[in-house]
Structure 1
Amino acid sequence: MPPRRYPTVRQKRLGAELRRLREAAGLSGEQAAEILECSKGKISRIETGMSGIRAAELKALLQAYDVDDSELVEALTEMAREGRRRNWWNQYESVLPPGFADLAELEAKALSLHSWETVLVPGLLQTPDYMRVLFRRGRIEPPEDEVEAHVRGRMHRQHVMHGGDATPDLWFVLYEAVLHARFGGLGVMREQLLHLTRMAQHDHVTLQVLPYTTDSHRGVNGPFGIVGMPDTGMDVVRAETALSSLYVQDHAQVAAYKLMFDQLRAVALGPGPSLKLIRDVAEGLRV
């Protein structure tokens, strides 16, 4: 199987788990290569996520590593299958950045999506016009077809909001500044805020606002999202930086982000008062 241009988050996680299990078994990369009768370089590419691994190869390694946890074996096997499977986001690989595939893949498998936002409406809750404003301002005079590709990709991501029984639990905490921004003018922002109120009516969506008047809070270091995965211990945090997204998978760090999110929603307005605030701000934007 040829190396990929870049590994997705789940592919990197699979590789990292295989490396951890190999080291726990006291085996070197050379010894793992002997098990598969391959080069050490292939083991390195598997463990960095740059090459996939076939089911028979995975089974051989896990047996050699004395892995008998059936849930872990199934989780790793499913990750390996995903690495070989084409999904809807693959059609956007040539026009959207690598991080798009990472996020779409995680969301498609998630049991829960929890998000803290400080400036922008979360992508899953954005209207197309709001998206266009953001994408056009992201670069100097981007081609219109590129902008529309970004919009289509994000709209496709939003299908996770309507997945029936497979729909994840969605919980958003927004800093009040998100409501008072003027991206695209009064009309675009008013429709965006009204869209928030409509989305919040869904049983699987919880929306809270952290008001300006809150004395102090734990979200001062920027927005982040927590993706709760069905595989035990496989949750991922997506932290926003100035130029990209950072994916955190270390168990202790993920636990720290979960505690931070719990503290944020504890001091935010409840869902009812939050919706009233959003409606009040939207009413003030009438044109």
Structure 2
Amino acid sequence: MTKNPAISLRSRWLSERLREARHRAGYTLADAGEYLQLDQTSLGRFERGTHRIRRSYVKDLLDYYGVSSTQERDFLLRLSEDAWRKDWSDLDVTGLDTEFIDYTWFESQAVQIRIFEPLLIHGLLQTSAYTEALTRRELGGTATDAEVQRVVEVRQARQRIVTSDMPTPMSVIVEEPALRRPIGGPETLQAQLESLLQLCDAGAVRLRVLPMDAPTDPGHHGPFTLFGMPDPYPEVAYVENLAGRTFFEEETRVSKFVHVFNELERSALSLGESRSMIVDIVKELE
């Protein structure tokens, strides 16, 4: 199966939520098809997000499944209206429930992940101590221990895609300053770098370093992640900043991120050289 440029994230998210609502209500695909007077094949395409579903069908299914939340109904009906649109930003849905449009959903669904991180160790690779130190700094003195621990637990749970017996193929390019920034202090940083070495040696991650003396920095626009999604869904580029999150799926836009990542790979140290640099930094911290 090949990529289908007609499929959007909105249609995929809508199909996911409708399927979850059907399961919660205890109905089979045949039950829902009979209610709409549609065959199972057509309804199955709607639930896979490969075919656009009419707004009237969405409304009827929400009624049938007993979805009463005004926020959820408004959100899903808007998704059905905008299913043809590409790309996604938090600003598109101000005031609506976007909880399930989650970065972690992409992590769990992707068949390949490519990450560029110039400032910090990426969340999928962080030790619990590194995450805790970073979270306390980000949340400030008002954060309770329970709030911090919750962030740590969620981030550690996300790392199953890296530490499982069948990890998702992952390529990471990190800039050298991120390896030297003493988040949590020297001991925490040392343990973090040693953990990176273990992940690399286990073959779970292909990690390369962009050194400070690299003549060019193709990633000067900032960090981003590329999610290679299973066929027929398109590749997705993700960026996050103070204004919120944006997911790009339009091919012409995603190709710019792919180009930058390829340029970063050409500028970065080799896998072996990157490992040696991390080892040297660990020795400096001992």
Superposed pair shares fold, TM > 0.5: yes
- 198 and 208 in structure 1: CA distance in 2 versus 1, 3 angstrom threshold: same
- Partner of 1:178 in structure 2? 178
Structure 1 position 76 matched with structure 2 position 42: no
**How many Å apart are 1:112 and its aligned residue?**
0.6
- 8 Å CA contact 1:99, 1:245 repeated in 2: no
- 241 and 79 in structure 1: CA distance in 2 versus 1, 3 angstrom threshold: farther
CA shift digits 1:90-113 (9 cap, x unpaired)? xxxxxxx96786121111111011
Please give the secondary structure, in 2, of the residue aligned with 1:216. coil
CA distance in structure 1 between the aligned counterparts of 2:233 and 2:101, rounded to whole angstroms:
21
- Partner of 2:269 in structure 1? 269
- 100 and 200 in structure 1: CA distance in 2 versus 1, 3 angstrom threshold: farther
CA distance in structure 2 between the aligned counterparts of 1:258 and 1:243, rounded to whole angstroms:
23
- 98 and 128 in structure 1: CA distance in 2 versus 1, 3 angstrom threshold: farther
- 169 and 50 in structure 1: CA distance in 2 versus 1, 3 angstrom threshold: closer
**Counterpart residue type for residue 18 of structure 2:** G
Please give the secondary structure, in 1, of the residue aligned with 2:206. strand
- Partner of 2:9 in structure 1? 13
Structure 1 position 132 matched with structure 2 position 98: no
Please give the secondary structure, in 2, of the residue aligned with 1:247. strand
248-257 or 125-134, larger mean C-alpha shift: 248-257
Please give the secondary structure, in 1, of the residue aligned with 2:184. coil
- Partner of 1:161 in structure 2? 162
Unpaired stretches in structure 2, ≥5 consecutive residues: 1-6, 23-28, 54-64, 66-96
Structure 1 position 52 matched with structure 2 position 18: yes
**How many Å apart are 1:282 and its aligned residue?**
1.2
CA distance in structure 2 between the aligned counterparts of 1:146 and 1:280, rounded to whole angstroms:
35
Please give the secondary structure, in 2, of the residue aligned with 1:284. helix
- 264 and 245 in structure 1: CA distance in 2 versus 1, 3 angstrom threshold: same
- 259 and 230 in structure 1: CA distance in 2 versus 1, 3 angstrom threshold: same
- Partner of 1:284 in structure 2? 284
Please give the secondary structure, in 2, of the residue aligned with 1:197. helix
State how 1:1-287 maps to structure 2 within 5 Å. Answer: 13-15=9-11, 52=18, 56=33, 75-76=48-49, 102-141=102-141, 142-165=143-166, 167-242=167-242, 244-286=244-286
**How many Å apart are 1:75 and its aligned residue?**
4.4
- 8 Å CA contact 1:75, 1:231 repeated in 2: no
CA shift digits 1:107-135 (9 cap, x unpaired)? 11110111000111011110000000111
- 8 Å CA contact 1:248, 1:254 repeated in 2: yes
Q: TM-score, normalising length from structure 2? A: 0.68
- 8 Å CA contact 1:110, 1:229 repeated in 2: yes
Unpaired stretches in structure 1, ≥5 consecutive residues: 1-10, 19-45, 65-69, 85-96
CA distance in structure 1 between the aligned counterparts of 2:135 and 2:8, rounded to whole angstroms:
28
CA distance in structure 1 between the aligned counterparts of 2:200 and 2:52, rounded to whole angstroms:
32
Higher relative contact order (CA 8 A, sep 6+): 2
- 8 Å CA contact 2:127, 2:195 repeated in 1: yes
CA shift digits 1:56-79 (9 cap, x unpaired)? 46x78x969xxxxx9x87842699
- 208 and 50 in structure 1: CA distance in 2 versus 1, 3 angstrom threshold: closer
- 284 and 226 in structure 1: CA distance in 2 versus 1, 3 angstrom threshold: same
Identity across matched positions, percent: 25
- 99 and 204 in structure 1: CA distance in 2 versus 1, 3 angstrom threshold: farther
- 8 Å CA contact 1:113, 1:225 repeated in 2: yes
Q: TM-score, normalising length from structure 1? A: 0.68
Please give the secondary structure, in 1, of the residue aligned with 2:140. coil
**How many Å apart are 1:140 and its aligned residue?**
2.3
RMSD: 3.4
